[in-house]
A and B are shown apart, each in its own frame.
Chain A
Amino acid sequence: MDGVRGRLTVTLVALVVVTAVVLGVGSYLFVDASLRQRFLEDREAQARFDLTEVIPARLSPDPTQSELDAVLEILRRRGGETVVDLGDGRPPPFLQQIGPALRQLAPGTLAYEWTSIAGVPRLVVGGRLADGPTFYFLHDASEVERALGTLRAALLAGAVVLAVLALIAARRVARGVLAPVDTAARAAERIERGDLSVRVPVTSRDEFGAWAEAFNRMAASLQETIGRLEVAQAQNRRFVSDVSHELRTPLTALVAEASILRDHLDALPPDARRTGELLVGDVARLRVLVDELMELSRFDAAAERLAVELVDLARLVQAIAASRAPNAIVRAPQTSVFVETEPRRLERILGNLLDNAREHAPGAPVEIRVRAEPGSAIVEVLDGGPGVPADRIDRIFDRFYKADPSRRGGSSGLGLAIAAEHAAILGGEIAAANRPRGGLRVALRLPVTALLPAGDDAATDTSQRMAANPPLRELQP
């Protein structure tokens, strides 16, 4: 039992049990004392009567054995057991079982002792006649012990029942007291999951009630703020999307026009020719920018569909490198590294990483490494450029981030942001780090969900995968 509820329960139960034990022990001691007292008083009165009336009437001052036997016979008939110590130096063996106070009684006095003889609880009352023998009356005290035993059992049972009842009650009370906390925890969990409409009921006017009201005010304020932000963000995204779409029509005309102009640059007069060349180049740059903006606005609209298939990562990377960066060195393991991914996106990611490497380390060798780790496959692009200052390395995946703002390259500053978005859609991630000896290392980590053996079985499996490809199947009539 952990937590506040457990501690509360334990405390309540402990309180009840301690109270029950104190009361039980107290009442037991009281009953014990009074039972013994009454038993003793009765027996003492009888002994006194025997010693003053019954025995002296039948014994001469110097009693004979037959007189003693007669007296003992009378006492035995009435019940109980009586032992006589004549004080003649031959004490009966019984005396060894009782205390000295009772063994050497002053003449004319009475004493008693609770003891146990041969496993039977006994009350021994002893009385000595004036200058005569000492009589010991042995009484069976079993009934007292039995009564006390019953009482002990009853008290113990009562205590157990009380403890169980206390436990049940305590749990119920603890739950009741802590219910608002549970409600609050559940509400907070729902908010964490993004359900900002959650409110907790205000059921009392105590501290919990006040807390619930404060919680609800906070949730309402959060909901409103997030709602406003979402609207603003949606407007922003729609604007980017609209702008990209609106740019597309004139861009299409521009690209077509530039492609014709390019074929006729030689026919232009020299001063117009250079302008024409710049125009053709800038149209290409604009095309890249609009394409990338469109791509990003598709990410933002969460309109991306994923069409994964099983691919041999090393082979695919080699093919992409061959077409995008023929000079790059590719290091891949001998064994195949299979990942379930979308080759088109992977090509886009890797292409952007290679473009980035080429741009920031012009002319320097680029290396691509493929390796497998448990649960993931990693493609690294390493360049020999200057790297990125440590304080800015996390920002290179931001949109429009340029490591060197003064550089006027063909890059839009969107390439790495796009690569990171694609990687996230593939369930992977991209991270960048400076290499110890200079240069930048950008690593794409992809999840490996299934490792299938190569061969015909695998091929059959893949064909089923392809056929069950949701993005394509949904569209079939």
Chain B
Amino acid sequence: MDGSILLVEDDPSIREVTAIGLRNAGFDVTTASDGVDGLERFRAAPFDLLLLDVMLPRLDGLELCRAVRRTSTVPIVMLTARGDTIDVVVGLEAGADDYVKKPFEVPELVARVRAALRRSKRGETEDDRLRLGDLAVDVAGRTVERGGEEIPLTRTEFDLLVELARRPGQVMTRAVLLDRVWGYDYLGDSRLVDVAIQRLRAKVERDPANPQVLLTVRGAGYKAVR
């Protein structure tokens, strides 16, 4: 068994076919049809990953995501009806790690789920301490400090920061960042990277409108200050 997944989706057909696809791929799938049911099942048993529809009856997927994040770092992938930037932003804000746009093909979903699971399992043995501008990054402890004060980051934001901080001054393309941080190469959709960088800057830059730590390189990607 590759892992246990809680799938919360209100449409019966989508729920069933998604569950079939994930089970065919070797996952143990538990399903729920609304947000409250989903939260109860999450609290009743541990899961390796949550797959949440955004639009859910009773308690919507974003609320459910926030409720889960209060107590858990379990990887969360959102199923969004719209791939608009706003949905990506709202999902990341709620604490999601990734999103899959509807409609999706099952192999694509499986690849994204696997990537999210891989990501949640790695990094625990690393024992690095990195300096980035006036930021102190404790890779093992997964904390970032400025002047002794901790800056809270989500898992994705932290991974993105570490990825850039490991290679100061080196340009990282969006594709490379997608591959290294999110674990897949999703051609043509660099918004995830852009949005995540914007959110990360809002937390770690003194003046997010005039970034000094995480720099944009025109036409190429991003780099951390040397």
Q: Which residues of A contact B (CB under 8 A)?
A: 245, 248-260, 263, 287, 305, 307, 309-312, 315-316, 323, 343-344, 347, 458-459, 462-464, 466-469, 471-473, 475-477
Contacts and interface: CB of A to CB of B under 8 A. Distances in A.
A472 B11 contact: no
A381 B109 CA distance: 34
Contacts of A245: 81
A347 B189 CA distance: 11
Q: Is the interface of B mostly helix, strand, loop or mixed?
A: helix
Contacts, number: 107
B218 A473 contact: no
A333 to B, nearest CB: 16
Nearest to B219: A312
Interface residues of B, number: 40
Interface in B186-223: 187-188, 190-191, 194-195, 198-199, 201-202, 208-211, 215-219
A255 B21 CA distance: 12
Nearest to A461: B218
Nearest to A303: B84
Interface in B1-54: 11, 13-14, 17-18, 20-21, 24
B106 interface: yes
Contacts of A287: 103
Given A252-B11, A467-B209, A315 B188 contact: no
B216 A462 contact: yes
B12 to A, nearest CB: 9
Interface in B49-96: 81, 85-86, 89, 93
A313 to B, nearest CB: 10
Nearest to A256: B17
A455 to B, nearest CB: 10
A475 B194 contact: no
Contacts of A309: 218
Interface of B: 11, 13-14, 17-18, 20-21, 24, 81, 85-86, 89, 93, 102-109, 187-188, 190-191, 194-195, 198-199, 201-202, 208-211, 215-219
A468 B219 contact: no
Contacts of B11: 249, 252-253
Q: Which 4 A-B pairs have the closest CB atoms?
A: A259-B105, A462-B218, A253-B13, A255-B103
Contacts of A307: 85, 194
A460 B166 CA distance: 22
Contact of A472 (B187, B188, B195, B210): B195
Contact of B14 (A256, A260, A315, A473): A256
Given A347-B188, A467-B209, A252 B89 contact: no
Contacts of B208: 467, 476
A260 B202 contact: no
Contacts of B209: 464, 467-468, 473
Contacts of A471: 85
Given A467-B209, A472-B194, 12 more contacts: A252-B102, A256-B18, A256-B104, A257-B17, A259-B106, A311-B219, A462-B216, A464-B209, A473-B198, A473-B209, A475-B85, A475-B86
Contacts of A311: 218-219
29 contacts: A248-B81, A248-B102, A248-B103, A249-B14, A251-B103, A252-B11, A252-B102, A252-B103, A253-B17, A255-B105, A256-B14, A256-B18, A260-B17, A307-B194, A309-B218, A316-B219, A459-B215, A459-B217, A462-B216, A462-B217, A463-B211, A463-B215, A467-B209, A467-B216, A468-B209, A473-B198, A475-B86, A476-B199, A476-B202
A305 B24 CA distance: 39
Contacts of A463: 211, 215-218
Given A253-B11, A255-B105, A459 B218 contact: yes
Nearest to B171: A459
Contacts of A256: 14, 17-18, 21, 103-106, 109
A119 to B, nearest CB: 89
A475 B87 CA distance: 11
Given A287-B103, A476-B202, A252 B14 contact: yes
A260 B13 contact: no
A429 B59 CA distance: 45
Contacts of B188: 323, 344, 347
A471 B17 CA distance: 35
A158 B190 CA distance: 83
Contact of A466 (B102, B107, B108, B216): B216
Nearest to B202: A476
B219 to A, nearest CB: 5
Nearest to B16: A253
A357 B7 CA distance: 42
A242 to B, nearest CB: 13
B81 A477 contact: no
B201 A467 contact: yes
